[in-house]
Amino acid sequence: MQNAPQNPLTNAVPNPLRNWGMFWLLGLVWGSSFLLIKIAVAPIGANAAAIGLFDPLSLAAMRLIVGSISFIVLLTLLRRKLPTDPRTLFLLAVAGLTNNAIPYMLITWGEQSIDSGLASVLNATTPLFSLIVAHLALADDKITMRKIFSLVAGFAGVILLATRSIDPTHPNPLLGQLAIVGAAASYAFAAVFMRRTLRHVEAITTAAVSITAAALIMIVILLVGVRPLPVLSAIQPGALVAVVILGVLNTAIAYVFYFMLMSTWGASRTTMVTYVTPPFGLLLGIIFQHEPFDWKLGIGSLLIVGGVALPNLLRRSVPPAATSAIMTPAPIPAPIIAVSDGGTPVANK
């Protein structure tokens, strides 16, 4: 009897050196997303076409188009079948809107005016919003004292970061920060929505179809809302390279690494990568964009990451059925994943 072909995403051979390499590479890749957005998007108030950069809507649309093409190629190589029933396709479109189109627009708009490192930290509040959304939407996932401590610490960090903008001359205005926080809230809503409605669809199919739906949505928005449309031949080479990297490496290839790592390490250990993503985002912004670093940014970042991580590190083991919904807090089309009691994202299997 002939053996069925192995799935490279779930049948990786354990290799400690390779696994640790993929772990740190994932943190670097997902942390670099905010730097790449900063490179490609025009500063607020600037004429994007005149300086050869993307406006926020065009950048969001382009990275989704490149990402959807990458996922279509990946699905073809893996010989995955796409869902055809109208209800599932509609649910996937809603997932694409809330998990990709809306947050991508908000993040690119926010990064017109705020530092990429700050954006990476604020985006890490996704697990905190998910605790709230899950409490309201899921009967089996209510707020506990651990989660309250997580929320208090995390949002204290957000408030501390916001106080940096009291000075009107500060380079990170409050509206830009609120846009990133809004994106995190949209990711959180999408996570709970997908947990409730799309468990019957394989994670890679959910990611691929939802990002393709988001790309189609953004193309419509782009055609209606942007005049003149960007001319790719007039875009700076660095901005074009940033878009390709966002769509191919930071989306499809990173997704493969993520599930290869999960197949050997397990979900809880693998998703610790979400705790190293904000530090990488901060470091890359400081090195390549010369972004300032002060004590409020440092303490605020620790409060946010600690608010997500610490309760999970202190918790007792819980069965998979007791986990709640959350998305990887990186601006990528993440799979449906769950979060443990303290806020650590873990993938549903």
Length of the chain in terms of residues written: 349
Q: Looking at the domain assignment, is residue 39 inside a domain?
A: yes
Residue 10 covered by a domain: no
Residue 276 lies in a domain: yes
The answer to the question of residue 9 being in a domain is no
Residue 338 — φ and ψ, nearest 5°? -115, 165
pLDDT, position 348:
38
Q: Give the domain range for residue 72.
A: 16-347
Q: What angle do CA 98, 195, 218 make, to 5 degrees?
A: 20
Sequence-distant (6+) residues with CB within 8 A of 135 are 141, 142, 143, 147
Q: What's the whole-number mean pLDDT along residues 178-187?
A: 96
Taking the complete model, does pTM exceed 0.75, yes or no? yes
Q: Shortest CA distance to 74 belongs to which of 254, 330, 328, 273? A: 254
Q: For residue 7, tell me if it sits in a domain.
A: no
- Which residue type sits at 39? I
pLDDT at 243: 97
**Does residue 123 carry a pLDDT above 80?**
yes
SS3 227: coil
pLDDT digits (tens, 9 = 90+) for 298-314: 999 999 998 887 656 65
pLDDT at 343 over 70: no
How many Å apart are CA 134 and CA 250, to the nearest integer?
27
pLDDT of residue 310: 67
Q: Are 182 and 106 in contact (CB under 8 A)?
A: yes
Asked if residue 6 is part of any domain, the answer here is no
The predicted-structure confidence for 188-213, as pLDDT tens digits, reads as follows: 999 899 989 999 998 889 999 999 99
Instruction: For residues 53-70, give the mean pLDDT.
Output: 96
Q: What is the mean pLDDT of the chain?
A: 84
Percent pLDDT > 90 in the chain is 58
Q: Rounded to an integer, what distance in angstroms lies between the CA atom of residue 119 and that of residue 99?
A: 17
Quote the pLDDT of residue 314.
58
> For the chain, how many structural domains are there in total?
1
Top mean-pLDDT range of 3-17, 138-152, 200-214: 200-214
For the packed helices 16-40 and 273-289, what is the interaxial angle rounded to 10 degrees?
50
| Mean pLDDT computed over 29-34 | 96
Beta strand segments in the chain, E: 324-326, 337-339, 345-347
CB atoms closer than 10 angstroms to residue 3 = 5
Residue 315 lies in a domain: yes
